A = this chain, B = another copy of it.
Amino acid sequence: MNPPTTRLTINEIAELVGVSKKTVSRFFNHPELLSAETRAKLEAVINQTGFVPNPQARALALQRSSLIVLVHDESDRGVLELVETAIGDALRGTELALVLQPITGRNSAGEMRAMLDRLRPMGVILLPARSDNQALVSACDHAQVRCIPLGQTREQQGMACDDRRAMAHLVTWLVKLGHRRIGLVSGPETSIIAQQRELGYLDSMADHGLDRGPSLIVPGDNTFDSGISAGRLLLEVSPRPTAVIACNDEMAAGVLHAAAHTGVSVPGQLSVVGFDDAPLATRTLPALTSMHIPWDRMAQEAVRRIASVEQAPVAGQRFDIELVLRDSVQPVTPS
């Protein structure tokens, strides 16, 4: 059942079947080049012995390991959590393993190159806001490592959603509920996703002829604390917004806290909506209405692309965003 002491090698399999080791190797890498007969014989023995090629040796010969690296910048634990779980599921029963690589410093390209050089991974998945960083993608290209950014990027590669359109729809929905003063807690300025969402907000506010003055837009950095600060600011503008959109759930939770500290009830006096639909959205009180970004599906598709043998450069793919209704939004009550 399980190799008792020492593992089988390709040599022993070869001997067992009565072929050369190269033939065994081919069974794994180019099975189509084998005669049906030898293939069958090999398959039998390999299944029976449960032989698996040694990944370390493979890595040395191939200059490429069986690792998938998830690069993140620790700025958004919610997304990380979602993606981690999804990749874990996708990798179950696979030979592949997931490496978690925080890259936070200024010299991110350098850190990336060093990592690539050490791990020689099979592929890299970039999480926002690292997915924006074209230098990281280039580093992977240069190292011949497949790289898939998650979330919108300038180059439209990778797995992404149409954040601009989704945000516009969200604003329209709030307007239909009677909201006229809608605040926005935006994400990091340098983030393409944050930019797109802000544009969607501006689009839609303009469409509805609503005030979109700068005081209604407060920049955040995706952290809970920045959500609190932004929320405080937003609650001070007058007339006070009746709804606030935050670019992720962490910040939305921060807005909830700001409201509580200011004595503003949610959703009674203020509606709040987040982005990502992270686990946190269900933990808060009231539970957060949130835009569901299918991070899990994007991650799983990314894994598929990386694991696939196709040589073609991976084309981008688009996913839909859906609104998940919970308890933090209410129609405006006529006063």
A-to-B contact residues, CB < 8 Å: 2-3, 7, 52, 54-57, 59-60, 63, 65-67, 74, 77, 81, 84-85, 88, 92, 95, 97-102, 110, 113, 115, 117-120, 224, 250, 253, 256-257, 260, 279-280, 282-285
Given B84, B102, B224, B282, which contacts A88 in the complex, CB threshold below 8 Å?
A: B102
Report the Cα distance A253→B119, complex, angstroms: 39
Report the Cα distance A88→B97, complex, angstroms: 17
Residues of chain B with a CB closer than 8 A to A101's CB = 97-98
Supposing A2-B110, A67-B99, A100-B88 touch, asked if A284 and B282 sit within 8 A by C-beta, the answer is no
Question: What are 12 A-B pairs with beta-carbon distances under 8 A?
Answer: A56-B60, A56-B63, A56-B65, A59-B59, A74-B88, A84-B100, A97-B119, A98-B99, A224-B279, A224-B283, A257-B285, A260-B285
Query: Contact at B285–A283, with CB atoms within 8 Å?
Result: no
Query: Which of A63, A98, A118: most chain B CB closer than 10 A?
Result: A118
A89 CB to nearest B CB, Å: 8
A326 CB to nearest B CB, Å: 12
Report the Cα distance A284→B250, complex, angstroms: 11
Report the Cα distance A168→B220, complex, angstroms: 41
Residues of chain B with a CB closer than 8 A to A74's CB = 85, 88
Residues of chain B with a CB closer than 8 A to A55's CB = 118-119
**Closest residue to A280 on the B side, CB-wise?**
B283
A32 CB to nearest B CB, Å: 26
Query: Contact at A77–B279, with CB atoms within 8 Å?
Result: yes
Residues of chain B with a CB closer than 8 A to A120's CB = 56
Given B57, B84, B99, B285, which contacts A285 in the complex, CB threshold below 8 Å?
A: B285
Residues of chain B with a CB closer than 8 A to A65's CB = 56
Given B100, B118, B283, which contacts A98 in the complex, CB threshold below 8 Å?
A: B100
Other A-B pairs beyond A56-B120, A59-B59, A99-B100, 13, CB < 8 Å: A7-B117, A55-B118, A56-B60, A57-B60, A74-B85, A84-B100, A85-B102, A92-B102, A97-B99, A97-B119, A98-B100, A256-B285, A260-B285
Report the Cα distance A81→B74, complex, angstroms: 10
Query: Contact at A2–B113, with CB atoms within 8 Å?
Result: yes
Report the Cα distance A298→B113, complex, angstroms: 30
The 5 closest A-B pairs by CB, nearest first: A56-B59, A88-B102, A56-B60, A253-B283, A97-B99
Query: Contact at B81–A97, with CB atoms within 8 Å?
Result: no
Residues of chain B with a CB closer than 8 A to A63's CB = 56
Report the Cα distance A85→B118, complex, angstroms: 21
Residues of chain B with a CB closer than 8 A to A57's CB = 60
Given B2, B3, B110, B285, which contacts A284 in the complex, CB threshold below 8 Å?
A: B285
